[in-house]
Amino acid sequence: MKVIAIVDKEKTALDRLAQGVKPYHKNLDYKVISVHPKRPDPEQLEAIERECKDADIIDAQYYKSMDMLRERFDWLKKIPTILTHNNPYAIHERDWNDYPIVVANNTVMQAELSHITSSRLEYIPLTVDHKFWQFNTDWQPKDQVIMVANRIEGKKGIREVAIACAELGLKFVLVGAISDLDYYHGIEATGNVEFYEQVSDEQLRDLYYDSLLHVCNSQDNFESGTLPILEAMMCGTPVLTRKVGHVPDLNNGKNMIIYDGDNENVFTLIEAIKDAVSDRDGLKEMREKAWNTAKKFNFERRAYAYQKLYRSLISEKQSVSVIVPVCDKAEITKQCIEAIDAQTYDNIEIILVNDSQEPVTYKSKWPVRVIENYNDDYGLARARNRGIIEATGDIVVFCDQRIVMDSKAIEALVNNLQIRTWVYGTKGVKKEFVENFSCVYRDDLIKLGMFNERCDKYGAMSQEIRSRAKYNGYKIVFVPEAKAVQVGKSGNKHSKKDQIADSKNMLWKLGMEL
């Protein structure tokens, strides 16, 4: 699946969001293209024509750039497009029903976009990199307050914070890009300002670590974030903010300080900052509570949510994740993947769980995700569970690497699937239920408890999961139309007699029928 993300400029907040999810989109052909909404340069337009004509999905993160491109290139309107609204002041400009899916990144905007009728409205929150903005366990801040602004302009309320800090004798650290030079000079004139226009992420993290407080003082209806609020919370820097953007989504009454004053009221700010920095014990307690909130707003979750949306645009059929545990035997695995490629069902992803030390690389027309699972043991249950966790499909199909499915197999399995039902096909002869060529709703299997990783020897897994499913009221249904052949061998059962006996003893002790 080829996905093109459209942002406004490189190194802006939107670009950071798009680039941040990229490591979690390795199973996709995912590219980020920045296009200036008013003055696109020829190289940007050439990139759009080169990359987008064969794209499966357009992920439009900036509406102005996308609207401009649609006016220039009429063919872009035919490509399924997700529009994410990152600008609260623009949501009432029109109804946005020309986009099949519209995403709001905070719940206030989601409510404001309720006028959308024919488009699907979704909520995916803003996120940051939880692996980079790490919590500062040794917090020994300096007497300084930090503000981080993508654009230094009046709507951000920066000058008022600078005045408040000067009044309180606190150093004011400002990080950002100057958008309004006269306004910046007014900030500078307050004295005691330490300004960083070009700063690396590492430097910014150190500035968070050294700060008593991060302040957001933007005016109403201007922000959808801001991302620095989440960065500060991740780092353990206490936050003082007005109730703007996604602050209502983040605030639980204990993890940040909310002040209700007008963003131009310096006296309110002075009192709010003074009260905050005078309660060091309160700030220390707030740090932990803030991190416990912010940890949920990370790039991995955002990438997962968007992949589910991408798949919903590709096909009206329910999304399927085919989980294939792999252990060596490259030629046999290739046949298995080729058979999945040939399926008539058209909304598939493949999850290869590698249980060997050899690297796994297979190409497919479907998105392929590879998960490393090697632990020098019988790790089949763990492999399948890891596949279930990473799956973005509503339905999971289990297909061992030595099973070559008929082209209509997944279609047949899905057509016979119901809630709290586990269906399975035939590999030449009808057998009692075996999970290695089967299909079930992902949520149902999660609620059932997934596979039992205590089944760490050959000969227990099928019977254990079958017995547990029946006990919990799940129907197990044979689908003769779902056909496959088995290539290669699962191993010599005669050489595994000891394992089988141990497995049967375990099941017997658990009171399961054998």
Joined tokens for residue 411: 């279609």
* Same structural domain, 372 and 500: yes
Q: What is the CATH number of the domain that holds 32?
A: 3.40.50.11930
Q: Is residue 61 part of a domain?
A: yes
* Same structural domain, 354 and 491: yes
* Same structural domain, 451 and 397: yes
Polymer length in residues for the chain: 514
Report helix, strand or coil for 115. Answer: helix
Q: Is residue 299 part of a domain?
A: no
* Same structural domain, 67 and 157: no
Evaluate whether 403 touches 436 at the Cβ level (below 8 Å): yes
Domain boundary among 265, 294, 323: 294
Q: Is residue 43 part of a domain?
A: yes
Q: Is residue 303 part of a domain?
A: no
Dist. CA 229–CA 112, nearest whole Å? 22
* Same structural domain, 338 and 253: no
Q: What is the pLDDT of residues 70-98, one digit of tens each?
A: 999 999 999 999 999 998 988 998 889 99
Q: What is the pLDDT of residues 190-211, one digit of tens each?
A: 998 999 998 999 999 999 999 9
- The tokens 């796994």 sit on which residue? 360
pTM above 0.85, yes or no: yes
Joined tokens for residue 255: 């993890």
| pLDDT at residue 329, rounded to an integer | 84
**Count of other CB atoms within 10 angstroms of residue 268:** 17
Dist. CA 184–CA 195, nearest whole Å? 10
Q: Is residue 418 part of a domain?
A: yes
- The tokens 């058209």 sit on which residue? 346
Dist. CA 393–CA 389, nearest whole Å? 10
* Same structural domain, 276 and 382: no
| pLDDT at residue 495, rounded to an integer | 57
- In the chain, which residues have pLDDT < 50? 492
Domain enclosing residue 477, as ranges: 315-509
* Same structural domain, 112 and 160: no
Evaluate whether 435 touches 396 at the Cβ level (below 8 Å): no
* Same structural domain, 65 and 105: yes
CA distances from 460 to 379, 430, 446, 468, 499 (A): 13, 20, 19, 12, 9
* Same structural domain, 250 and 338: no
Dist. CA 436–CA 353, nearest whole Å? 14
Q: What is the CATH number of the domain that holds 210?
A: 3.40.50.2000
| pLDDT at residue 490, rounded to an integer | 59
Domain boundary among 88, 123, 158: 123
Q: Is residue 300 part of a domain?
A: no
Q: Which of 161, 273, 154, 163 is nearest to 219 (CA)?
A: 154
Strands of 131-185, DSSP E:
144-152, 171-178
Q: Is residue 305 part of a domain?
A: no
DSSP string, 55-107: -SEEEES-HHHHHHHHHH-GGGGGS-EEEEE--GGGTTSS--TTSSEEEESSH
Q: Is residue 205 part of a domain?
A: yes
Q: Where are the alpha helices (DSSP H) in 350-451?
A: 380-390, 409-415, 442-448
* Same structural domain, 158 and 31: no
Q: Which of 377, 327, 384 is nearest to 356 (CA)?
A: 327
Q: Three-state SS string across 255-307, please?
A: CCEECCCCCCCHHHHHHHHHHHHHCHHHHHHHHHHHHHHHCCCEHHHHHHHHH
Q: What is the CATH number of the domain that holds 419?
A: 3.90.550.10
Domain boundary among 69, 89, 123: 123
* Same structural domain, 74 and 116: yes
Which residues contact residue 381 at a Cβ distance below 8 angstroms, ignoring those fewer than 6 apart? 451, 452, 453, 454, 455, 456, 461
Residue 249: in which H helix or E strand, if any? helix 247-250
> How many structural domains compose the chain?
3
Helices 227-235 and 280-294: crossing angle, nearest 10°? 110
* Same structural domain, 263 and 325: no
